[in-house]
A and B are shown apart, each in its own frame.
Chain A
């Protein structure tokens, strides 16, 4: 695909960068053929080895949207790509969640002629990626505890976002006004579109990020009692199942994706579309049709049982996933690992309230199923431990099973099912 692309953009790259994207693309194809992932990372790694500023070279001349936050990055990236469809232009995107330099490089290299790019970025890489890609839009979704055995503490992260965005006056920030940490991080940016996207998880924002005092909440509103920090005035809002646009019109959100978190993500996508001159009415159609995102929310049939796969990587994500479960008596399989990408600490299990799983069949799997079992026992949730998804299906004897898994456990289940979706 790289050698047959038209010469326009590629030929404007320095020779070494062209070589880097070609070699990287070949490695990506080899990796896919070898069945070692979707190939979106290895190609980028090799390209970056040959040309360390490849990301910045590949970003030049494109209009770039960066998407970051603790939860919803991959889904929102997909929804924004859909919302931009009315432009009728090719959009480069790391749609499978490879969200560090190599994944972004690979996405851009694969679409040399796309003048638009929607890129998911790991929270920690925002300052460097702002410098490298000079984006038109940066989306800040939310910030909560996640894999803290390796990530910086979240207030430090917010502080780095705030400094980096203050130094990027040309970029428009689309930020969730309902998340006090996000609002503070965007607070010194020159151009901000505030979205009332909601915040299901409040436990990481009781402290004013500006002055350290106790943050007060009054319904949706929040404010600091000690300093002027408060919820900024909003332009877009999610209200129940409707989105309110900047002129106050209400549009029903009719999404194929389940749950309140995805309605929030959709509103953010509409706010991004607005920057590109696309109205809510135009964007809502394609946004509503997004069904499955990198294998998440996919329905898969296995031995006569309909499985639905939900990914949840941290306490806020588990809250959202428990929200979208099919009601009892449909059985639920929970799978938890603690490999490096998951975070090696399982303490977060104790931040999730599992009591609402009482009264339905619950199966427990994954490399850390004992940690999960002890957690459920404390919440008086009855469960069965199983070795894998097939054992859960066999024991459940049900037409459908909902599956919630954290990152590598999710990937293992997808692999067992033949990498669907």
Chain B
């Protein structure tokens, strides 16, 4: 912990270090959006940002603040899990309290176990006590979900495209309760435990959910100042547009 403080001091006390893990393998649906949104929302508050994009043939730095994992097909997902386990950088970072935000295939990887090409169990990184497998049908479409009130984040809106079903261990809470869509398969959506957060909202999940982005940033920096409303206007309108579109059609 002391060593980490020294290193942060060298960079300047307020730099937020974002680490995008394996964009070569885990970036199927515009996952870069999460990186761009976190960087933008930090900079709008005057916080300097350092970005590391780490491909699967590079070491994962252990001293990041927020780690992002995206979606991927079966083969890249299995390869990514294998490499991350061998590398150890992400587990070390999570172990000392860094924030991990994982989406879709990434969400499954950070768990204890997930399903391989033929549905066989593949070991995950075990950063969070969840197990994922393959469900009966693919969940494809707009999803909305109400976030655990303890987190103080507005309703989630996103797009899901997965066949995963995820079960939580006793210490893990669902991130949200599904309003429309599929999510984990049991009426809940995503999971969190400590500072590890996973979701089936795929790709640029933080784009339409700036509250979730701010929650992750706030875990690193402490309370955040508000952003100039003019800088929030477009995303507020987009959120309203998508939340309205996801309303179930009247019977």
By the criterion CB–CB under 8 Å, are A374 and B30 in contact?
no
Top 8 closest pairs, chain A to chain B, by CB: A350-B30, A347-B203, A350-B33, A347-B30, A206-B24, A347-B29, A212-B75, A370-B238
Residues of chain B in range 51-73 having any CB-CB distance to chain A below 8 Å = 55-57, 73
By the criterion CB–CB under 8 Å, are B28 and A374 in contact?
no
Complex: how many Å from CA A374 to CA B235?
6
Instruction: From known contacts A145-B28, A347-B202, infer whether A150 and B79 are also in contact, taking CB-CB under 8 Å.
Output: no
Question: B70 → chain A, closest Cβ, in Å?
Answer: 10
| Residue B32 at the chain A interface, CB threshold 8 Å | yes
Instruction: From known contacts A214-B56, A344-B141, infer whether A370 and B76 are also in contact, taking CB-CB under 8 Å.
Output: no
By the criterion CB–CB under 8 Å, are B78 and A212 in contact?
yes
Q: Please indicate the chain A residues that have their CB under 8 angstroms from the CB of B79 in the complex.
A: 207, 212-214
Q: Please indicate the chain A residues that have their CB under 8 angstroms from the CB of B175 in the complex.
A: none
0/1 interface trace, chain A 333-350, chain B, CB 8 Å (1 if under): 000000000001111111
Residues of chain A in range 206-231 having any CB-CB distance to chain B below 8 Å = 206-207, 209, 212-214
| Residue B37 at the chain A interface, CB threshold 8 Å | yes
| Residue A203 at the chain B interface, CB threshold 8 Å | yes
Q: Please indicate the chain B residues that have their CB under 8 angstroms from the CB of A154 in the complex.
A: 73
0/1 interface trace, chain B 1-41, chain A, CB 8 Å (1 if under): 00000000000000000000001110111111100110010
By the criterion CB–CB under 8 Å, are A155 and B73 in contact?
yes
CB contact between A149 and one of B23, B36, B141 (< 8 Å): that residue: B141
Question: A379 → chain B, closest Cβ, in Å?
Answer: 8
By the criterion CB–CB under 8 Å, are B75 and A350 in contact?
no
Q: Please indicate the chain B residues that have their CB under 8 angstroms from the CB of A344 in the complex.
A: 141-142, 159
Q: Please indicate the chain B residues that have their CB under 8 angstroms from the CB of A212 in the complex.
A: 75-76, 78-79
| Residue A381 at the chain B interface, CB threshold 8 Å | no
| Residue B140 at the chain A interface, CB threshold 8 Å | yes
By the criterion CB–CB under 8 Å, are A350 and B31 in contact?
yes
Instruction: From known contacts A148-B161, A214-B79, A350-B32, infer whether A203 and B73 are also in contact, taking CB-CB under 8 Å.
Output: no
Residues of chain A in range 107-163 having any CB-CB distance to chain B below 8 Å = 145, 148-150, 153-156
Complex: how many Å from CA A351 to CA B73?
16
CB contact between A377 and one of B29, B57, B142, B234 (< 8 Å): that residue: B234
By the criterion CB–CB under 8 Å, are A345 and B238 in contact?
no
Q: Please indicate the chain B residues that have their CB under 8 angstroms from the CB of A373 in the complex.
A: 234, 238
CB contact between B76 and one of A149, A206, A350, A371 (< 8 Å): that residue: A206
By the criterion CB–CB under 8 Å, are A374 and B29 in contact?
no
| Residue A19 at the chain B interface, CB threshold 8 Å | no
Q: Determine the interface band of chain B, counting residues with CB < 8 A from chain A.
A: 35 or more
By the criterion CB–CB under 8 Å, are B33 and A149 in contact?
no
| Residue A387 at the chain B interface, CB threshold 8 Å | no
By the criterion CB–CB under 8 Å, are A150 and B74 in contact?
no
Q: Please indicate the chain A residues that have their CB under 8 angstroms from the CB of B55 in the complex.
A: 206
Question: A101 → chain B, closest Cβ, in Å?
Answer: 24
By the criterion CB–CB under 8 Å, are B141 and A206 in contact?
no
Select from chain A the residue with minimum beta-carbon distance to B207.
Answer: A374
| Residue B204 at the chain A interface, CB threshold 8 Å | yes
Select from chain B the residue with minimum beta-carbon distance to A216.
Answer: B57
Residues of chain B in range 133-188 having any CB-CB distance to chain A below 8 Å = 140-142, 159, 161
By the criterion CB–CB under 8 Å, are A347 and B140 in contact?
no
- Chain A residue total in the interface (Cβ 8 A): 31
Residues of chain B in range 216-251 having any CB-CB distance to chain A below 8 Å = 234-235, 237-238, 241
Complex: how many Å from CA A207 to CA B81?
13
Q: Please indicate the chain A residues that have their CB under 8 angstroms from the CB of B56 in the complex.
A: 206, 214
Select from chain A the residue with minimum beta-carbon distance to B71.
Answer: A347
Q: Please indicate the chain B residues that have their CB under 8 angstroms from the CB of A153 in the complex.
A: 73-74
Interface-centre pick from A156, A346, A373 (highest chain B CB count, 10 A):
A346
| Residue A378 at the chain B interface, CB threshold 8 Å | yes
0/1 interface trace, chain A 351-378, chain B, CB 8 Å (1 if under): 1000000000000000000110111011
By the criterion CB–CB under 8 Å, are A203 and B27 in contact?
yes
Given A214-B24, A347-B159, 13 other A-B contacts at CB below 8 A?
Answer: A149-B141, A154-B73, A156-B73, A203-B23, A206-B56, A207-B79, A209-B75, A346-B159, A347-B204, A349-B30, A350-B32, A350-B33, A350-B207
Q: Please indicate the chain A residues that have their CB under 8 angstroms from the CB of B24 in the complex.
A: 203, 206, 214
Please list 30 pairs of residues, one from A and one from B, whose beta carbons are closer than 8 Å in the complex, sorted by A's number: A145-B29, A153-B73, A155-B74, A156-B73, A203-B24, A206-B25, A206-B56, A206-B76, A212-B79, A213-B79, A214-B56, A344-B159, A345-B29, A345-B161, A345-B203, A346-B159, A347-B33, A347-B203, A347-B204, A350-B31, A350-B33, A350-B36, A350-B207, A370-B234, A370-B241, A371-B238, A373-B234, A374-B207, A378-B37, A378-B40
Select from chain B the residue with minimum beta-carbon distance to A377.
Answer: B234
Q: Please indicate the chain A residues that have their CB under 8 angstroms from the CB of B140 in the complex.
A: 149-150
